[in-house]
Structure 1
Amino acid sequence: MPKLIRLYILQVLAGFGLSAVFVGALLWFNVANLWHLISGSDMGVVAVLMLFMFNGIVFAGVQFAISIMRMGEGDDTSGGKRQHVRPQEPAPVRVAAEAPRNRTLRGLQRR
């Protein structure tokens, strides 16, 4: 089995394990009266199963993402050359300007 597939399966198992602990803690500590809501409903098992599965998907994705991102920490060759960069200074530019025209007088003379 390829190493990446093995890593993915291990992270998925870890994510669903964390999900089981998380859902168990939610029910044990009765967060938002969740234990009484589930135990008093005939669809409580479905609700717990959905809570476990959806949290498992999220936790597995996060576990896998963290493990993939941590793979590149030992590789310090990807950064390019560290060359000194001079600070940018604006260069003065000379612009020839014409004498201002009095546009208001021209507009008044035509009327």
Structure 2
Amino acid sequence: MPKHIKLLLRHALGGAFAGIAFSALLIWSNVAGLRHLVLETADGPLAAGIMTVFFVITFASVQMGRAIMAMAEPEDDNDLTPPRNGELVAVRVHDRG
């Protein structure tokens, strides 16, 4: 399997575990009465499942995006941005007229 596919799958799996853990933490801590919703109503398990699936999708996507953005090459210093130490630099401007 190619390295980039392994990288994405590894980060997607980590994000999926984070989504499941976050969903379980929300239900366990009874935020907004979620534990009551899940345990006391007929459609509670369905609501918990949908919530968990959406958290898994969101967290896995964020982890994959973060992994891709972390692969960027370091930028070169040959651009025209001012130096980061706060010193002003004189720039020669030519008149076209």
* Residues 42/79 of structure 1: CA separation in 2 closer, same or farther (3 Å cut): same
- Structure 2 residue aligned with 1:25: 25
- Structure 1 residue aligned with 2:76: 79
Give the length in aligned residue pairs.
88
* Residues 32/86 of structure 1: CA separation in 2 closer, same or farther (3 Å cut): same
TM-score between both structures, scaled by the size of structure 2? 0.76
- Structure 1 residue aligned with 2:40: 40
Instruction: For 2:90 and 2:2, locate their aligned partners in 1 and report how far apart those are by CA, in whole Å.
Output: 44
Q: What do you get for the CA RMSD once the two structures are aligned? A: 2.5
Tell me the percent identity: 31
Instruction: For 1:68 and 1:80, locate their aligned partners in 2 and report how far apart those are by CA, in whole Å.
Output: 22
Instruction: For 1:82 and 1:63, locate their aligned partners in 2 and report how far apart those are by CA, in whole Å.
Output: 30
- Structure 2 residue aligned with 1:95: none
Q: Write the mapping of 1:39-58 to structure 2, written as runs, cut at 5 A.
A: 39-58=39-58
- The Cα offsets for residues 76-100 of structure 1, whole Å up to 9 and x where unpaired, read as 3x43624666176xx8xxxxxxxxx
Instruction: For 1:26 and 1:36, locate their aligned partners in 2 and report how far apart those are by CA, in whole Å.
Output: 12
Greater than 4 Å deviation, 4+ residue runs:
82-85
Unaligned runs of 5+ in 1: 92-111
- The Cα offsets for residues 10-42 of structure 1, whole Å up to 9 and x where unpaired, read as 111111100111011101110001100121111
Does 1:68 pair with 2:73? Answer: no
Unaligned runs of 5+ in 2: 81-88
